């Protein structure tokens, strides 16, 4: 079995309780961290090369060092647990099963940042997770890991869980902060970035659940040890939630640099595609990253094997590459319809647009309607170029990255599977007869 | 040169501005070819950044950092840095993006200008005239809402709204209490009072003035007159609630409408109270001054008259009368 950092003890019975978690070496990083200065902890994280696991892959240590230290306002650490990307379901598993890993990470990270109050913002639909976290936080308070003067260190921290209100957009960090402040979850214009003007106008760091849960291991073993795992600038391990047409859907912790082919076909991971079907396409990092056809996901345009790493997946830019994103790995076999899949994704982004800025508010709905038309046999050839153009006019013009998240899947699907769109127009129903028939009969 | 001033070059023309100035403000200082703005409104704090029609390209971030900014930026919010080089109308990328945004703003707009009170002084109409295309590529159904009376003086026609949030900021910043806001999300988002609440306070009429389109209209003026058939005059009275400085829109010696005065960027100079706006519609109530200058480009002027007329609204009226 490959290197496990987060999931090493995930199958230990009772690991969600503090007692078992501590017996497996939990909360040891606190004593170590408190012997260091906060800046030394940040330095270790920098050395580790840890990158944000929420999708953008921004170096975590660097993000921490951007925090406005000159300001005399309080600082905040906010954990982004608003995991709502279609295809991504790794943080839920982590929080549900080893909640103390996140809490330990929150304590150590808050110490490094000098935060006295920290928040875990959890997607509102995940009430069971919220209850688990609440219980774990109570345990941690009782054991003296949270509250005043933690373990005699002189450092105090209060930790709160905040349920979200049911909006994908609140996973965008500034919309999350607005929501946390009790306002409508509209993303803010940037700059200023949260490191300067965050929660309640104070310097704030927003990190993904998995990123924060990685920090205790880095403190325990040192940044260099973490940097030794993985490949190049993609250090450490990554949780990948695999789904779609594979024999073993689930959440896997992989060492970055694992070949994509091995991940899909090895019995240790996805276990290949059921019923001997052929691989058609993969969305490698959650629904918003570009879709890639089988040949380009297994090998780069240069013919090198594609690896599960930030750099390798991005090889070739968006012409022939994609992104590691948040690790939502969706596999499509030869029977799946790309047009239908794209319509479904676009429907999601249309539904989740906050409506604040015009390109996203109007453009996502437009794309959905055109795709619906093509899927249901009323499309025109000119619609395909129209979609490309609308996507282009959304991308890069919006306040927050939801515009890109909606535009990239459209642009990439048409780039790589244009023939399939044309077939939907010229011979409606040839591909999706099954779905259409089912839907028409299910009406009655 | 004052060492505190920052030098910015927009479309090849340079100006020195104080720190904190945004690109849009600097462009307006330079003069004619400034980016359009549908949501930004100088008197309202926090406005801007939403409509995306003011996007510009920053070709050089500053003297110290000569790299271009990676994406187009909203000129209404991006602050000038020393040595910044900005491309507005000189960048094909900017013009294409602006075309795109105008198209987005129009796909769900009813285009009912012939029956809309705002026609002739509508920012969206002017924007579409200048930056839009002649035909739409949008074939789908348009979003529709029912008209709502929010109070006895104002009607909300959400179908025309472009969600600029100006009326929300106005209610927040110049009235005692805000009872309306943005409900729902995405293209289902709407301005509303949630439970059919009336917007009733002494300054509520200003939300009609700040609305860039015909979404919020003055019920006492609805369907009374096309704007270009009435003459605007600056007038004032002593008022204990507001400055009392207004524009009277006069036709045949009747005051058919009272609005706040706007500058050449279409922004209200001083907000006025509902007393002045709704309850003083007799000429005797006012000390009437000069004809109000309306310098803004307007669809009507651009269509009808080729030459620049200093006070078009007055002359337009004169011409129609003589015909």
Cβ-Cβ contacts under 8 Å, B94 against chain A: none
Taking residues B180-198, report their average pLDDT: 89
Q: Where are the domains of chain B?
A: 6-102, 106-218, 227-319
Helix, strand or coil for residue B117? coil
Prediction ipTM score: 0.91
Nearest Cα of chain B lies from the Cα of A370 at a distance, in angstroms, of: 8
- Tens digits of per-residue pLDDT, B250-277? 988 899 999 999 988 889 999 999 999 9
Nearest Cα of chain A lies from the Cα of B270 at a distance, in angstroms, of: 27
In this model, does residue B321 exceed pLDDT 50? no
Kind and range of the H or E element at B232?
A: strand B231-236
In this model, does residue B314 exceed pLDDT 70? no
Give me the residue from B53, B108, B184 closest to A362, CB to CB: B108
The fold adopted by the segment(s) B6-102 is Ubiquitin-like (UB roll) (3.10.20)
Q: How far is A171 from B25, CA to CA, in rounded Å?
A: 33
Give me the residue from A352, A357, A362 closest to B107, CB to CB: A362
Contact B105 A362 (CB under 8 A): yes
Structure-token match 């996140």, residue found: A102
Cβ-Cβ contacts under 8 Å, A366 against chain B: 104, 107, 138, 140
Contact A393 B100 (CB under 8 A): yes
Cis peptide before A191 (omega within 30 of 0): yes
Cα–chain center distance at B285: 28
Structure-token match 């688990």, residue found: A132
**Cα–Cα–Cα angle for A232, A236, A241, rounded to 5 degrees:** 115
CA closest to B69 among chain A residues:
A396
Contact A365 B137 (CB under 8 A): no
Q: How far is A197 from B46, CA to CA, in rounded Å?
A: 14
Tokens of A432: 């999706």
Give me the residue from B53, B96, B186 closest to A354, CB to CB: B186
Q: How many contacts does A have with B, using Cβ atoms within 8 A? A: 90
CA dihedral B288, B290, B295, B301 (to 10 degrees): 80
CA closest to B50 among chain A residues:
A357
Structure-token match 């704007």, residue found: B227
Range from A134-148, B7-21, B135-149 carrying the lowest mean pLDDT: B135-149
Taking residues B234-242, report their average pLDDT: 94
Please say whether the beta carbons of A76 and A204 come within 8 A: yes
Angle between helices A28-35 and A99-113 (to 10 degrees): 10
Q: According to the 3-state scheme, what is the secondary structure of chain A?
A: CCCCCCCCCCCCCCCCCHHHHHHCCCCHHHHHHHHCCHHHHHHHHHHHCCECCCCCCCEHHHHHHCCCCCCCCCCEEEEEECCCCCCCCHHHHHHHHCHHHHHHHHHHHHHHHCCCEEEEEECCCCHHHHHHHHHHHHHHHHCCCCECCHHHCCCCEEEEEEECCCCHHHHCHHHHHHHHCCCCCCCCCCCCCCCCCCHHHCCEEEEEHHHHHHHHHHHHHCHHHHHCCEECCEECEEEEEEEECCCCCEEEEEECCEEHHHHHHCCCCCCCCHHHCCEEEEECCCCCCCEEEHHHHHECCCCCECEECHHHHCCCHHHHCCCCCCCEEEEEECCCCHHHHHHHHHHHHHHHCCCCCHHHHHHHHHHHHHHHHHHCCCCCHHHHHHHHHHHHHHCCCCCCCHHHHHHHHHHHHHHHHHHHHHHHHHCCCCCCHHHHHHHHHHCC
Residues 6+ apart with CB under 8 A from A365: A350, A353, B108, B186, B187
Q: How far is A242 from A222, CA to CA, in rounded Å?
A: 30
Reported as a pLDDT band with limits 50, 70 and 90, residue B305 is very low
Q: Are strands A158-163 and A117-122 parallel, antiparallel or unpaired?
A: parallel
Cβ-Cβ contacts under 8 Å, A359 against chain B: 52, 100-101, 104
User: Does A434 lie at the interface with B, CB-CB under 8 angstroms?
Assistant: no
Q: How far is B207 from B166, CA to CA, in rounded Å?
A: 8
Contact A357 B140 (CB under 8 A): no
Please say whether the beta carbons of B272 and B243 come within 8 A: yes
Give me the residue from A184, A362, A370 closest to B187, CB to CB: A362
Cβ-Cβ contacts under 8 Å, B140 against chain A: 366, 369-370, 373
In this model, does residue B211 exceed pLDDT 70? yes
Q: Which of B184, B185, B190 is the best mutation test for A, with the most CBs of A within 10 A? A: B185
- Tens digits of per-residue pLDDT, B98-128? 999 999 999 999 999 999 999 988 999 989 9
Q: What is the per-residue pLDDT for B190?
A: 93
CATH of domain B106-218: 3.30.70.20
Mean pLDDT by 10 residues, chain A (444 residues): 86 95 95 96 96 94 92 95 95 96 97 97 96 97 96 96 94 96 94 94 97 97 96 95 96 96 96 95 95 96 95 93 95 94 96 95 96 92 97 96 96 96 87 60 47
Reported as a pLDDT band with limits 50, 70 and 90, residue B129 is confident
CA dihedral A65, A67, A71, A77 (to 10 degrees): -130
Give me the residue from A352, A363, A396 closest to B104, CB to CB: A363
Contact B189 A354 (CB under 8 A): yes
Kind and range of the H or E element at B190?
A: strand B190-192
Q: What is the per-residue pLDDT for A437?
A: 54
Contact B187 A167 (CB under 8 A): no
Task: List A residues 326-385 in contact with B (Cβ-Cβ < 8 A).
Answer: 350-359, 361-366, 369-370, 373
In this model, does residue B299 exceed pLDDT 60? no
User: Does B156 lie at the interface with A, CB-CB under 8 angstroms?
Assistant: no
Query: What is the rounded average pLDDT for all residues in chain B?
Result: 88
Phi, psi of B272 (to 5 degrees): -120, 165
CA distances from A363 to A242, A269, A379 (A): 30, 38, 18
Contact A167 B49 (CB under 8 A): no
**Higher per-residue confidence, B262 vs B310:** B262
Does the pTM exceed 0.90? yes
* A153-188 residues labelled b (16+ CB within 10 A) or e (exposed): eebebebebbbbeebbbbbbbbbbbbbbeeebbbbb
Q: What is the per-residue pLDDT for A14?
A: 94
Contact B186 A189 (CB under 8 A): no
DSSP 8-state code for residue B59: E
Contact B49 A358 (CB under 8 A): no
Number of Cβ within 10 Å of residue A420's Cβ equals 17
Q: What is the per-residue pLDDT for A176?
A: 97
């Amino acid at each position: 079995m490959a290197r496990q950092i987060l999931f090493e003890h995930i199958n230990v019975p009772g690991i969600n309780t503090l007692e078992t978690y501590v017996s497996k070496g939990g909360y040891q990083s606190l004593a170590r961290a408190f012997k260091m200065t906060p800046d030394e902890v940040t330095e270790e994280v920098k050395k580790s090369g840890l990158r944000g696991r929420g999708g953008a892959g921004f170096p975590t240590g660097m993000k921490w060092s951007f925090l406005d230290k000159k300001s005399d306002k309080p600082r905040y650490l906010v954990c982004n647990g608003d995991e709502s990307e279609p295809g991504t379901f790794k943080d839920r598993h982590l929080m549900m099963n080893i909640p103390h890993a996140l809490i330990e990470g929150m304590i150590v990270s808050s110490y490094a940042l000098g935060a006295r109050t920290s928040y875990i913002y959890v997607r509102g639909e995940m009430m069971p997770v919220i209850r688990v976290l609440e219980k774990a936080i109570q345990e941690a308070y009782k054991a003296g890991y949270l509250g005043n003067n933690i373990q005699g260190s002189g450092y105090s921290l209060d930790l709160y869980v905040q349920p979200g209100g049911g909006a994908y957009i609140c996973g965008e960090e500034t919309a999350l902060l607005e929501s946390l402040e009790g306002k409508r979850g509209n993303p803010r214009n940037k700059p200023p970035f949260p490191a300067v003007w965050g929660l309640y106008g104070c310097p704030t760091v927003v990190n993904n659940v998995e990123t924060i849960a990685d920090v205790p291991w880095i403190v325990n073993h040192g940044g260099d040890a973490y940097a030794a795992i993985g490949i190049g600038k993609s250090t450490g391990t990554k949780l990948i939630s695999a789904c779609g047409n594979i024999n073993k859907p689930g959440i896997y912790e992989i060492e970055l640099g694992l070949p994509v082919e091995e991940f899909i076909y090895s019995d240790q991971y996805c276990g290949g595609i059921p019923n001997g079907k052929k691989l058609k396409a993969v969305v490698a990092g959650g629904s918003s990253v570009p879709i890639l056809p089988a040949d380009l996901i297994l090998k780069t345009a240069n013919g090198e094997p594609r690896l599960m790493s930030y750099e390798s997946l991005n090889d070739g830019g968006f012409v022939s590459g994609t992104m590691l994103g948040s690790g939502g790995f969706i596999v499509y076999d030869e029977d799946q319809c790309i047009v239908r899949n794209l319509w479904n994704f676009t429907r999601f982004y249309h539904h989740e647009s906050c409506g604040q800025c015009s390109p996203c508010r109007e453009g996502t709905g437009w794309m959905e309607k055109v795709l619906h038309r093509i899927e249901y046999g009323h499309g025109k050839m000119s619609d395909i170029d129209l979609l490309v153009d609308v996507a282009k006019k959304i991308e890069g013009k919006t306040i927050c990255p939801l515009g890109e998240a909606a535009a990239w899947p459209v642009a990439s699907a048409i780039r790589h599977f244009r023939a399939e769109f044309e077939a939907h127009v010229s011979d409606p129903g040839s591909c999706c007869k099954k779905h259409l028939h089912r839907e028409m009969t299910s009406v009655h | 040169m004052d060492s505190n001033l920052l030098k910015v070059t927009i479309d090849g023309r340079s100006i020195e501005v104080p720190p904190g100035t945004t690109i849009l403000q600097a462009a307006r200082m330079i003069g004619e070819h400034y980016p359009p703005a549908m949501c930004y409104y100088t008197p309202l704090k926090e406005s801007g950044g939403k409509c995306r029609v003011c996007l510009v390209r920053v070709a050089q971030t500053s003297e110290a950092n000569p790299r271009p900014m990676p994406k187009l930026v909203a000129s209404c919010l991006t602050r000038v840095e020393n040595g910044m080089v900005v491309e507005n109308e000189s960048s094909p990328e900017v013009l294409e993006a602006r075309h795109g945004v105008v198209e987005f703003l129009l796909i769900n707009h009813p285009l009912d200008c012939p029956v809309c009170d705002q026609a002739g002084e509508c920012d969206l109409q002017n924007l579409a005239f200048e930056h839009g295309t002649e035909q739409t590529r949008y074939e789908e159904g348009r979003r529709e809402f029912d008209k709502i009376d929010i109070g006895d003086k104002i009607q909300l026609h959400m179908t025309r709204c472009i969600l600029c949030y100006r009326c929300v900021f106005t209610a927040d910043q110049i009235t005692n209490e805000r009872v309306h806001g943005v409900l729902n999300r995405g293209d289902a988002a709407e301005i509303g009072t949630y439970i059919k609440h009336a917007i009733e306070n002494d300054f509520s009429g200003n939300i009609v003035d700040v609305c860039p389109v015909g979404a919020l209209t003055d019920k006492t003026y609805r369907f009374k007159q096309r704007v270009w058939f009435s003459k605007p005059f600056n007038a004032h009275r002593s008022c204990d609630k507001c400055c009392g400085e207004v524009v009277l829109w006069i036709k045949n010696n009747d005051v058919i409408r009272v609005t706040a005065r706007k500058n050449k960027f279409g922004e209200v100079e001083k907000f006025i109270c509902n007393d002045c706006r709704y309850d003083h519609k007799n000429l005797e109530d006012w000390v009437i001054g000069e004809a109000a200058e309306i310098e803004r480009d307007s669809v009507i002027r651009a269509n009808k008259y080729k030459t620049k007329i200093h006070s078009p609204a007055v002359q337009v009226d004169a011409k129609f009368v003589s015909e």
